[in-house]
Amino acid sequence: MEPAALPPDAAFNSEFDAWEQSEKDAAGARHGGCRLYRSDGSLKLECQFTSGVLSGPFSAYHPKGGLARRGSYLDGKLHGTVASFASDEAGAEPLRTCCVPPGARELRAVYSAGVIERETYFDGAGRPLCSDGTPWPERAPALPEDVEYDAGAGCWRLSLPGEGGSMRYRFFSLDGTRIQEDEFVGGQRRATFRYDARGALSTERHFDERGVAQGRHLRRYPEPPFEDARIVLEEGSFVDGRPAAQWRLYDADGALLRSFELGTPLDDAALRGSRVIVADVTHAACEALAKEARVREALVAAARCLARDRDSEKFEAFVERWVPRASAAVANQRAHEVESKTNLSLADVLDALLLGARPSRCLRLLASLLPHSSAAALELVEAALVLVPDDTRTHLTRALLRLERGDRAGFREDVGIVERESAEAARAMLELERVTFCDFSFWPANEPVPAPESPELGEIEIGQPVEQVLRAIQVYATRLGRIRELLSSRLGASPDWLPPDLSGLLPDGPVELRSFKATITDEGESGPESSEVEIDEGLSFEVQRGVPAWMQRARADWAALCWLCWAAGLDRVALPDQLLKRQEFAVAVDRATSRCFRAHDQLRSAGLVSRARGVAEFEWEGLPISELSPSLAEIAASELLETRAVLFWSLFPENLSPFQSDLRRV
């Protein structure tokens, strides 16, 4: 039964759980005034509709009749200031469902087309409140009335809506001094302006929609970062986040002290393909590049010239023409910042060099980022050592570059210098050298395979015919021969650490290294199962690949060759006339499988999965597998994968080659 206090034309609306009294247009849509009543007849809401859409002012009421909320709608969305008022009446509408500061009696929320921009609570005396219920500080007279106190930052903030959905936020200190201004478009910061204690502009930066610095840059230094202490202000521009074009330096009175051209930034692909990296350079090339405003490349060229002529004064004078000399503390700080950066690029390092980072440290970083076998990498690290001869990290970098060239004597010279500061680092380097330049003996003799625990395992033997075993041996011999030839050609000599000459295994010369796709059929649990595999027996001779990479490839192939000969019944690397049964064959396959998994898991999870599954630990090259560094673990994983692949291949006659793709999944 309807309460008597309700208007006679009110109808119950289940959508709002209230009785509704509305004006409507000819089509039956709400148009004009609208009132909602509670079941007890009390007024709940007064609002306006235009053609069925909320539009105009509204007022909501507490059950006892006090004003609960007021504001306006625009095209169905809250717009402008919406004020909410607390009431001590039982059942009154709350200011908000949670997080209301103590003592709050009013909440003013500012909306823009339905999006809330800010909220402010007030106490009973009309004072705005912080989130903990304490009143805002006294507003300085010079500040606009609509500033808000940012308790987290301890300053005042003024929000200024702009065109196209942009917002500008101005920040003021408690005494009313402007300290910062930020511009946002679509929620993304597009510009930042900072001001010093006098209110003068001290920093200006602009950004694109990705948040990357673009356009004008200005920075005033409170403490001069340059050796020339007169320089306090720099002005320039950024392109894609990198300093570019002309930069200018000023003194405290605004007088121009010097300007210099930084040119157009290059990405890493362009830098790696630049002639200053891939070709020889001269001092004339340095000058020519500088005149073309290719300053980054000019500095790289000048560093490579420094490595040859050892004239540090000439290099430093050239750098000074383009890079203002920073104070020692700032130069080291900027070098540290770039050294600490994740996903470091060549462009990052050159940017740091242009902005005054210590040259020796930047040159070392450039050398470490280039292909280690390139001439430019070695010359850049040599240049760094001309500038600072006793830098341990630079000697460590040069040691690795020398190792890339097979220069073991030079490598050990640098490791000896590294050892003065870090015996542990030197020991790790020497372990890497030992493993890289391995002993090409018959490895199965170094670690005998135990006898099987059951007679049934002792009956398992090679499934491949002798003809296929012979061919597989010759495939590995051909691959190792090509690596030996490549390294001999590159080194101009045949040092004793090269893979052995296996021409005796190839009476008819090297065999064809095949590459093709095929379908193989295996016997599965439900019968025969067919799958497509790829076979690639070839070697990829990348130009930039260094000596260690090829020696590690040779190591893996040698391990496979040794274990294949062992599985055929031999005690040395040779061509078998027949296949002799190995009682320990099944145990060797199982051990190779377990160790291959364990080595790859060391790379992926530091052995966590293996320990959870109870996979046995073992020693590789005299070192516990769980203690291998990532570089050594990678070498071990490659070697053990090759060993497992060749033993798996030999187990089943359906397999076509040790280099088929399904045998190389871990």
Tell me what the mean pLDDT of segment 141-161 comes to.
89
CA 63, CA 406: separation in Å to the nearest integer? Answer: 89
Read off the tokens for 15. Answer: 């959508």
The model's pLDDT over 219-229, given as tens digits with 9 standing for 90+, comes to 999 888 999 99
Half-sphere exposure of residue 66: CA atoms within 13 angstroms, side-chain side:
13
Contact present, 438 and 522 (Cβ < 8 Å): no
Terminal Cα distance for the chain, rounded: 76
The pLDDT value recorded for residue 1 is 40
d(CA 109, CA 263): 49
Instruction: Point out the least confidently predicted range of 127-141, 526-540, 585-599.
Output: 526-540
What are the start-end ranges of the E strands in 430-544?
515-524, 527-536
Nearest-angstrom CA–CA distance, 450 and 588: 8
Residue 332 CB partners (closer than 8 Å, separation 6+): 358, 361
CA distance 429 to 632: 10
| Model confidence pLDDT, tens digit, residues 282-298 | 999 999 998 898 999 99
Q: How is residue 305 written in tokens?
A: 């010239």
The lowest-confidence range among 57-61, 62-66, 162-166, 578-582 is 162-166
- Return d(Cα 432, Cα 262) in angstroms, integer: 41
- Residues 197-205, mean pLDDT to the nearest whole number: 91
Question: How confident is residue 230, by pLDDT bands cut at 50, 70 and 90?
Answer: very high
- 261 vs 600, higher pLDDT: 600
Residue 318 CA to chain centroid, in angstroms? 34
* Structure tokens that stand for 135 in this block: 């009143």
Question: Tokens representing 206?
Answer: 């602009």
**203: exposed, middle or buried (C-beta count within 10 Å: 0-12, 13-18, 19+)?**
middle
Structure tokens at 212: 């990357």
Q: Average pLDDT, whole number, for the chain?
A: 92
The DSSP line for 182-218 is EEEETTEEEEEEEE-TTS-EEEEEEB-TTS-B-EEEE
**Region for 212 from its dihedrals, namely left if φ exceeds 0, alpha if ψ lies in -120 to 50, beta otherwise:** beta
In 10 A of CB 399, how many CB atoms? 27
pLDDT of residue 153: 87
- Residue 137's contacts (CB-CB under 8 Å, 6 or more residues apart) are 149, 174
Burial-class residue 156 by CB neighbours within 10 Å (0-12, 13-18, 19+).
buried
- Helix/strand/coil (H/E/C) assignment for every residue in 621-658: CCEEHHHCCHHHHHHHHHHHHHHHHHHHHHHCCCCCCC
What's the mean pLDDT in 608-612?
94
- How far apart, in whole angstroms, are the C-alpha atoms of residue 183 and residue 159? 10
With a cut of 50, say whether residue 429 has pLDDT above it.
yes
Instruction: Using DSSP, state whether 331 is helix, strand or coil.
Output: helix
Residues of the chain with pLDDT > 90, as a percent, come to 78
CA angle (79, 85, 87) in 5-degree steps: 155
Which range among 298-307, 368-377, 630-639 shows the weakest confidence by mean pLDDT?
Answer: 368-377
DSSP string, 272-292: HHSHHHHS---HHHHHHHHHT
Task: Report the pLDDT value the prediction gives residue 542, as an integer from 0 to 100.
Answer: 60
CA–CA separation, 44 and 26 (whole Å): 26
CA angle 577, 582, 588 (to 5 degrees): 120
From the list 619, 579, 585, the residue with the least C-alpha distance to 602 is 619
pLDDT top residue among 509 and 528: 509
Locus of tokens 């500033």: 147
Report DSSP state, residue 135.
Answer: B
Answer whether residue 575 shows pLDDT above 80.
yes
Q: Are 170 and 163 in contact (CB under 8 A)?
A: no
Q: Which amino acid makes up residue 78? A: L
State pLDDT tens for residues 98-135.
889 999 999 999 888 888 888 899 999 999 999 889 99
Work out the average pLDDT over 216-238. 93
Three-state DSSP at 614 gives: coil
% of the chain exceeding 70 in pLDDT:
98
Cα torsion through 422, 428, 429, 431, rounded to 10: 140
Distance CA 401, CA 398 (A): 5
In the predicted model, is pLDDT for residue 151 greater than 90?
Answer: no
Distance (Å, whole) CA 157 – CA 172: 6
For residue 349, how many C-alpha atoms fall within 13 Å in the half-sphere facing its CB? 23
Residue 189 has which token pair? 């910061």
pLDDT at 161: 81
Collapsed DSSP state (helix, strand, coil) of residue 617: coil
Highest mean pLDDT: which range of 3-7, 404-408, 516-520 = 404-408
Mean pLDDT computed over 435-447 = 95
What are the φ and ψ backbone dihedral angles of 590, each rounded to 5 degrees?
-65, -40
Cα maximum dimension of the chain = 114
Q: What is the 3-state secondary structure (H, E, C) of 511-578?
A: CCCCEEEEEEEEEECCEEEEEEEEEECCCCCCCCCCHHHHHHHHHHHHHHHHHHHHHCCCCCCCCCCC
Query: Could you give the CA distance from residue 607 to residue 109 in angstroms, rounded to a whole number?
Result: 55
pTM: 0.75
Instruction: Output the pLDDT for position 543.
Output: 53
Number of neighbours of residue 665 by Cβ within 10 angstroms: 7
Task: Give tens-digit pLDDT for 359-408.
Answer: 999 999 999 999 888 899 999 999 999 999 999 999 999 999 999 999 99
pLDDT band at 455 (very low <50, low <70, confident <90, very high): confident
Q: How far apart are CA 241 and CA 406, in angstroms?
A: 39
